[in-house]
Amino acid sequence: MNQNAIMTFADIFTTVDAINIPVIQRDYAQGRQSAQEIRQQFLHTLEQALRQGSETVPLDLDFVYGSLENGNLSVLDGQQRLTTLFLLHWLLAGKENESEAFRQRFTHNGKSRFSYQTRASAAEFLDALVIADPARYDFSSDATPIDEQLIDSPWFYLSWLQDPTVASCLTMLCAIQQRFCFPQGDLFQRLCDRENKRIVFHYLNLENFGLSDDLYIKMNARGKALTDFENFKAWLSGRISQWPTAHEFSLRLDQQWTDLFWLRRNKELPFDTLYLRFFMRMAFLLACGQSGKTANTLTEDDLAWFSLLRDAQSTFSPLEFGQHSVFTIEDLAKIKQVLDYFCSDRATPDAHALLTRFITTSDYLVQAQFYALTLFILRQDNDDGEALRLQRWQRITNNLLRTMRLDYIDIFIRVLAGLNAIVPHAHALYTDLTQAQQRWQAALGRHSVSNEQWKEEILKVGLIMQNIDWETAMMHAEDHPYLQGRIRGLLALAYRANDECHDRAMFTLLVEKSFRVLDRRIVEHPEHLLERALLTQDDYLVQMSGDRYTFCHPANHSWRDRSKSWLAVVEKPVFGRLLAHIDDNDVADTLRQLIAEVDCGGWRELIVKHPEVISYTEERLLDKEAENIYLLSKSTRRGYFFELHSYVLAERLRYFMAENALPKGIKAVKYYWTYGDDQPWLEITLNDDTIRYACYLKGRFAPWEEKDNDGRIKPLPASFARQAKKLMPEIYPAD
């Protein structure tokens, strides 16, 4: 067989006796349930190639590597594509009454000429499949799935289902049946046509090797089967073979750049996985940055392709990479420049930390931040001012990106377009900030949801240009995990209205106090000190939607977490009033003192005095409806909840019951939480063992539910109102 011959799957059997998948290869993967997107995309591409006219260029499935020995071709790369093609030939032959032609070409002495050596069961299944009588099977669109038909065949052993390759073959046959269910007549002939080839690949004969461990030792220093990254490197080497600097690129790929990812490896993520992930995610960024797509123009194929690259969980697929024209010479030149930057002494510790996050997480924010860094690297001048320009570029872009919801691909693509629009100003960003804002807004259009952040950045840059010392103070504040770039609340507190200016010393002090108050040990304190101390000053709760409010959650990973949590509190006047009480003393002690001196009255004081109600709210949520406060165990009232005033009254009555000191006329009390549309209630047992029910509605305790024989709700004891006023001074102030 010629080196680098272009042929169809059927062609290859005119030059070899058999094709074997060697024992050191993995199982067939394209039929796995987890590979649905790859499977459907591949079959869609094959179908398009078969349906097109003979004048069109054939579909090129790229390189297949193998070792030929004694007429048997052992496949080293191309196993997945070849297996799918074999199954496609079998099903189309059976569907189009071409089974005899199939057998003549693909069987010998009753055995399949395409076989697996990975497990005996896989080879047995393929041998049985090629001689099965196609008349037994229905390939039509409304037929029973072909896998069920095959499993029900007398020749099929159920033990074969334990073989991953057999299971994958069955899944792929079902997908082929569904994809090729419509009548078309001659697709099998088109597959085998040697004159008008529709689907081809390049065969690369590794003729200098025998199929032994030596082959893998020479191709892979660890002596194991080729990894996805090694297959990718082989594919990439073929792609750049005509590139003038291909040799230099290949050397760096195997040497300097390898060290970057070797140092970042761990038990879960070996270095070659990280290495391949870097290239796939760079392909994702470059594809998104150049796509010009919008939500209305993104197709299913776009989404599948972007997902494959971004998630980087799937195996390397030469077919998809070739079809999408990924890694053009221009793209590889950019990637080379980025990798060379990280191998140089110009790369900052922050840049290295970002690279690690880029290849170990799939967060849109991290990927957008890395794209911003990439854009800067591609425009760097390598002069003395580069470090300062990069610091300012990253500060502004990070602030913009961290104050946006980046959780949808269409928004992400728009944001990359915005970064592309403003990067011409990267080397003079502070002086060009207004022009950069205009370009950003033009690129994002209606998605430009960060206009308020731009106003903040312009304000901050104005202060920095007046006094450079502002920059350090601001960068320190912007790095707080709950603020992450948005510090307008602290800037507002530092504004002196009389002088119409911002006081930098005051700002620095406010930042220092904020760091102490928003320390994780305080935010997550089991006594809820911060929440209760804030309530002594005012209603700080953050509105989620409608009547629903949050005590604030300690999570700070995403913009969504922060914008409806402590960041929103920092921008309320109540936060400034709390900071006014913070001095050099221990913060926890200061908060406890405010709690001990609480005198705000109403529902706020009840919560301050009963912190267990905050602990009850797993999602940190409550509903405020008029004067009723409902504490939620879940995110809605579909989970159990209780009403604050009635709960506190029940708790105080239970305390007296434990002390045998209940008010006169009351023998026992219970409190009932509820869910749905019901109202929480107290069950009060009177001295004569009669029972009354009470709830809190419209600012007062009222009888609930139980009715007398005339259909009237039974009233509460006459003394109940007096006892409630005595027990609940927070809502019934003394006359």
**Final residue of a domain: which of 410, 428, 451?**
451
**N-term to C-term CA, the chain:** 105
What is the gyration radius of the CA atoms in the chain, in angstroms? 35
Residues 649, 594 share a domain: no
- Report DSSP state, residue 226: P
Check residue 294 and give its pLDDT: 63
How many Cα neighbours within 13 Å face the side chain of 526?
0
pLDDT (average), residues 59-84? 85
Residues shown for the chain: 735
Check residue 224 and give its pLDDT: 44
Tokens of 224: 């194991």
Tokens of 237: 């080497």
Residues 686, 577 share a domain: no
Q: What pLDDT digit, counting tens, does each position of 649-670 carry?
A: 999 998 888 888 887 888 889 9
| CA atoms 425, 431, 433, 439: torsion sign | negative
**Final residue of a domain: which of 423, 451, 479?**
451
**Is 473 part of any domain?**
no
Residues 689, 583 share a domain: no
Residues 630, 682 share a domain: no
Q: Are 540 and 599 in contact (CB under 8 A)?
A: no
Q: What pLDDT digit, counting tens, does each position of 607-629 carry?
A: 999 999 999 999 999 999 988 99
Q: What pLDDT digit, counting tens, does each position of 357-407 carry?
A: 999 988 999 999 999 999 999 987 777 789 999 999 999 999 999 999 888
Strands 628-632 and 621-625 come out as antiparallel
Directed axis angle between helix 587-596 and helix 529-537, to 10°?
50
Directed axis angle between helix 246-254 and helix 228-239, to 10°?
170
**Final residue of a domain: which of 428, 451, 474?**
451
Check residue 392 and give its pLDDT: 96
Q: Residue 318 pLDDT more than 70?
A: no
How confident is the prediction for the chain on average, in pLDDT?
87
Q: Are 144 and 138 in contact (CB under 8 A)?
A: yes
Residue that is written with structure tokens 């939607």 in the block: 545
Distance separating alpha carbons of residues 16 and 116, to the nearest angstrom: 16
Q: What pLDDT digit, counting tens, does each position of 552-572 carry?
A: 999 888 898 899 999 999 999
Residues 585, 609 share a domain: yes
**Is 462 part of any domain?**
no
Residue at 9: amino acid letter: F
Directed axis angle between helix 529-537 and helix 602-609, to 10°?
160
**Is 471 part of any domain?**
no
Residues 178, 279 share a domain: no
Residues 241, 158 share a domain: no
Residue 360 CB burial class (10 angstroms; 0-12, 13-18, ≥19): middle
Residue 525 CB burial class (10 angstroms; 0-12, 13-18, ≥19): middle
Check residue 212 and give its pLDDT: 43
Who has greater pLDDT, 305 or 640?
640
Q: Residue 259 pLDDT more than 60?
A: yes
Check residue 185 and give its pLDDT: 72
- Quote the number of domains for the chain: 4
**Is 366 part of any domain?**
yes
**pTM summary value:** 0.69
Residues 702, 593 share a domain: no
CA distances from 685 to 132, 271, 331, 668, 674 (A): 80, 70, 79, 5, 20
Q: Residue 209 pLDDT more than 70?
A: no
Distance separating alpha carbons of residues 634 and 625, to the nearest angstrom: 17
**Is 479 part of any domain?**
no
**Is 470 part of any domain?**
no
- Report DSSP state, residue 140: S
- What percentage of the chain's residues is helix, strand, coil (to nearest 5)? 50, 10, 35
Residues 621, 711 share a domain: no
The separation between CA 349 and the C-alpha centre of its own chain, rounded to angstroms, equals 25
**Is 11 part of any domain?**
yes
Q: Are 115 and 24 in contact (CB under 8 A)?
A: no
Domain that holds residue 82: 5-219
Residues 171, 301 share a domain: no
Q: Residue 58 pLDDT more than 50?
A: yes
Phi then psi dihedrals of residue 220, to 5 deg: -150, 115
Give the contacts of 43 (CB within 8 A, at least 6 positions apart).
84, 175, 176, 179
Residues 233, 130 share a domain: no
Q: Residue 354 pLDDT more than 60?
A: yes
Check residue 181 and give its pLDDT: 79
Q: What pLDDT digit, counting tens, does each position of 214-244 carry?
A: 444 344 433 344 567 877 777 787 778 778 8
Q: Are 69 and 206 in contact (CB under 8 A)?
A: no
